[in-house]
């Protein structure tokens, strides 16, 4: 048992929202990491510039005076920066230091390192960003400002110094957190916008499907010829095309079913009337005939009806492409004789003469049931509409089968329309071919036989020609 149907609108909305949130969240996270790194790098660059400036000030002071700097000395450009710690060690001796700087865990430089950055905190818990910078102190010989090459400094006889500078990094942290809040707020606003707009947009996008569903509701058995209108929406073009193809096949199948039912009803009407008449006459006016003979006549009528229904059903399935004919060799000579015997009583009733020329052992590649329909209908039509007391010509050869009967009331235009279903020349004329010739023509085409009707010197000639042996 199937569960509750899932809404396509809901599924599409959910997938779109999930995809946008995932992409937006990933992009925001990447941007946040990039911004934090950029801010941290700029803060470190600024800290490095301050440390180099402090080293340059130290060298300038020692060059101008031989006295050591006081321990409480603080550069003026660092005085307004809040919490600041710094110290300078030269030749293993501390030459200047801010208050409580010695209590901090300054980063240790490796011999090959010229600088190092580290995060630390003081006793008050203030978050600090510190740098340790190696530089050459001023000696009697001049040196480049900010030169950190230890080998050059040693060659000039200048002592090597290490400067430590730590500043409050709360502003940097606050700025990073502020950016995080802004980015998180942007993600939340984006999510809300997506959650509100996506259902509306999806509903708008799926509107053609709703129109398509309404159009499909109007199509039914009562309107088999209706089709869905074309659309410019690329995704719906294959759906509409295939649906219209299915409708066309359904209409063809419905028409075939209706035609089969109509044909069966029309063709069975005469034998059913004969069967009912025979039974009613025998019941009201007993003829004294042998029961077996009477039942044989009734059985013959039943066999005729069975052959007709079988042929109609087979022809309908072949024309629909549901079934393919399995052609076999059919003894046309024997079939023709059987048909003559089947219509012998009718020939006697209408005082018709049959001049038959049947070649021996004439065989065609055909379907026995459908070939019986073709030849039987042509012979039956000739017997039904030939003037009483006239002569019917019949010829059976390996190349074709021919039957000719006088038809004084027919014209060339009538013959051209005789293969139409239920064609009637006129109410007074009484010329009515019913389904016989139309059905015979369809059965002939199914077997690749060529059936022709020709009016020649007042005679209607029906011929069936073999296209292959």
433 assigned to some structural domain:
yes
C-alpha distance from residue 158 to each of 108, 137, 141, 161 (Å): 21, 6, 8, 9
192 assigned to some structural domain:
no
What band does 133 get if pLDDT is binned at 50, 70 and 90?
very high
What band does 427 get if pLDDT is binned at 50, 70 and 90?
very low
Q: CA torsion angle for 405, 409, 411, 414 (degrees, to 10)?
A: -90
Considering the domain architecture, whether residues 34 and 123 belong to the same structural domain is answered as yes
Considering the domain architecture, whether residues 301 and 383 belong to the same structural domain is answered as no
Handedness of CA 48, 53, 58, 59 (dihedral sign): positive
Helices (H) and strands (E) in the chain, counts: 11, 14
Predicted confidence at residue 144, as pLDDT, reads 35
Considering the domain architecture, whether residues 165 and 277 belong to the same structural domain is answered as no
pLDDT digits (tens, 9 = 90+) for 94-132: 888 888 888 888 888 888 889 999 999 988 888 899 999
- Higher pLDDT: 50 or 220? It is 50
Considering the domain architecture, whether residues 87 and 155 belong to the same structural domain is answered as yes
Among the candidates 117, 147, 176, a domain finishes at 176
Among the candidates 299, 324, 349, a domain finishes at 324
Q: What are the residues whose beta carbons fall under 8 Å from the beta carbon of 281, sequence distance 6 or more? A: 287
Considering the domain architecture, whether residues 227 and 314 belong to the same structural domain is answered as yes
In this predicted structure, the answer to whether residue 164 has a pLDDT above a threshold of 60 is yes
β-strand partners of 465: 400, 450
Check: pTM over 0.85? Answer yes or no: no
Q: What is the DSSP letter of 111?
A: T
Considering the domain architecture, whether residues 335 and 291 belong to the same structural domain is answered as no
Predicted confidence at residue 145, as pLDDT, reads 34
Is 231:247 a contact under the CB 8 Å cutoff? no
200 assigned to some structural domain:
no
27 assigned to some structural domain:
yes
Alpha-carbon span 87 to 343, nearest angstrom:
133
Predicted confidence at residue 152, as pLDDT, reads 39
202 assigned to some structural domain:
no
Any idea how long the chain is?
469
DSSP assignment of 295-309, as one string?
Answer: HHHHHHHHHHHHHHH
Q: 240, 238, 234: which is closest to 211 by C-alpha?
A: 240
What does the angle CA 304 – CA 373 – CA 334 come to, to the nearest 5 degrees? Answer: 85
Total domains in the chain come to 3
Considering the domain architecture, whether residues 354 and 428 belong to the same structural domain is answered as yes
The DSSP element (H or E) to which 117 belongs, if any, is strand 115-121
What band does 200 get if pLDDT is binned at 50, 70 and 90?
confident
Predicted confidence at residue 108, as pLDDT, reads 85
Considering the domain architecture, whether residues 221 and 96 belong to the same structural domain is answered as no
In this predicted structure, the answer to whether residue 166 has a pLDDT above a threshold of 50 is yes
The b/e string for 5-44 (b: 16+ C-beta within 10 A; e otherwise) is eeeebeebbeebbeebeeeeeeebeeebeebbeeebeebb
In this predicted structure, the answer to whether residue 78 has a pLDDT above a threshold of 70 is no
β-strand partners of 128: 120, 168
Is 272:305 a contact under the CB 8 Å cutoff? yes
In this predicted structure, the answer to whether residue 450 has a pLDDT above a threshold of 80 is yes
Predicted confidence at residue 272, as pLDDT, reads 79
Considering the domain architecture, whether residues 14 and 159 belong to the same structural domain is answered as yes
Considering the domain architecture, whether residues 19 and 164 belong to the same structural domain is answered as yes
Q: How far is CA 292 from the centre of its chain?
A: 66
115 assigned to some structural domain:
yes
193 assigned to some structural domain:
no
pLDDT digits (tens, 9 = 90+) for 368-421: 888 988 898 899 889 988 899 999 999 999 889 999 999 888 887 777 777 665
Q: How far is CA 408 from the centre of its chain?
A: 63
- Higher pLDDT: 132 or 18? It is 132
Domain span at residue 437? 328-466
69 assigned to some structural domain:
yes
Predicted confidence at residue 79, as pLDDT, reads 55
Considering the domain architecture, whether residues 386 and 318 belong to the same structural domain is answered as no
Among the candidates 324, 359, 376, a domain finishes at 324
pLDDT digits (tens, 9 = 90+) for 205-225: 877 777 777 877 777 777 777
Alpha-carbon span 379 to 272, nearest angstrom:
20
- List the structure tokens of 54: 């402090």
Predicted confidence at residue 363, as pLDDT, reads 93
Give the pLDDT mean for 293-316: 78
Considering the domain architecture, whether residues 319 and 343 belong to the same structural domain is answered as no
Q: 90, 99, 84, 51: which is closest to 68 by C-alpha?
A: 90
Q: Is 118 helix (H, G, I), strand (E, B) or coil?
A: strand
- Of the ranges 148-162, 283-297, 322-336, which is most confident? 322-336
What band does 4 get if pLDDT is binned at 50, 70 and 90?
low
What does the angle CA 129 – CA 135 – CA 140 come to, to the nearest 5 degrees? Answer: 145
């Amino acid at each position: 048992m199937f569960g509750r149907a899932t809404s396509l609108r809901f599924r599409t909305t959910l997938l779109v929202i999930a995809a946008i949130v995932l992409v937006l969240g990933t992009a925001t996270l990447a941007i946040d990491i990039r911004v934090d790194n950029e801010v941290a790098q700029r803060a470190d660059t600024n800290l490095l510039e301050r440390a180099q400036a402090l080293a340059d000030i130290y060298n300038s002071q020692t060059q101008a005076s031989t006295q050591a700097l006081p321990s409480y000395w603080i550069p003026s450009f660092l005085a307004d920066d809040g919490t600041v710690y710094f110290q300078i060690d030269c030749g293993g001796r501390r030459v200047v230091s801010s208050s409580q700087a010695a209590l901090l865990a300054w980063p240790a430089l490796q011999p090959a390192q010229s600088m190092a950055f580290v995060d630390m905190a003081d006793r008050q818990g203030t978050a600090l960003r510190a740098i340790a910078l190696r530089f050459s102190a001023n000696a009697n010989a001049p040196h480049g400002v900010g030169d950190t090459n230890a080998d050059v400094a040693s060659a000039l006889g200048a002592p090597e110094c290490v400067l430590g500078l730590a500043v409050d990094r709360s502003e940097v942290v606050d700025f990073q957190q502020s950016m995080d809040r802004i980015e998180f707020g942007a993600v939340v606003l984006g999510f809300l916008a997506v959650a509100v707009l996506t259902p509306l947009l999806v509903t708008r996008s799926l509107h053609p499907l709703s129109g398509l569903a309404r159009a499909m509701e109007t199509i039914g058995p009562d309107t088999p010829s209706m089709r869905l209108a074309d659309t410019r929406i690329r995704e719906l073009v294959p759906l509409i095309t295939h649906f219209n193809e299915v409708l066309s096949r359904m209409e063809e199948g419905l028409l075939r079913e209706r035609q089969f039912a109509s044909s069966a009803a029309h063709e069975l009407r005469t034998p059913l009337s004969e069967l009912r008449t025979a039974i009613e006459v025998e019941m009201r006016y007993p003829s004294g005939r042998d029961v077996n003979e009477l039942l044989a006549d009734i059985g013959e009528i039943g066999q005729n009806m069975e052959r007709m229904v079988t042929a109609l059903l087979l022809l309908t399935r072949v024309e629909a492409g549901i079934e393919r004919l399995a052609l076999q060799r059919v003894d046309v000579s024997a079939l023709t004789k059987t048909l003559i015997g089947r219509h012998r009583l009718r020939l006697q009733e209408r005082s018709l003469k049959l001049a038959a020329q049947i070649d021996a052992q004439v065989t065609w590649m055909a379907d026995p049931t459908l070939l019986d329909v073709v030849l039987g209908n042509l012979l039956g039509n000739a017997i039904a509409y030939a003037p009483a007391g006239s002569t019917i010509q019949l010829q059976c050869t390996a190349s074709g089968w021919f039957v000719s009967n006088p038809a004084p009331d027919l014209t060339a235009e009538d013959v051209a329309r005789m293969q139409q279903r239920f064609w009637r020349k006129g109410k007074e004329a009484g010329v009515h071919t019913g389904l016989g010739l139309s059905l015979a023509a369809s059965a002939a085409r199914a077997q690749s036989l060529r059936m022709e009707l020709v009016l020649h010197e007042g005679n209607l000639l029906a011929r069936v020609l073999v296209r292959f042996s």
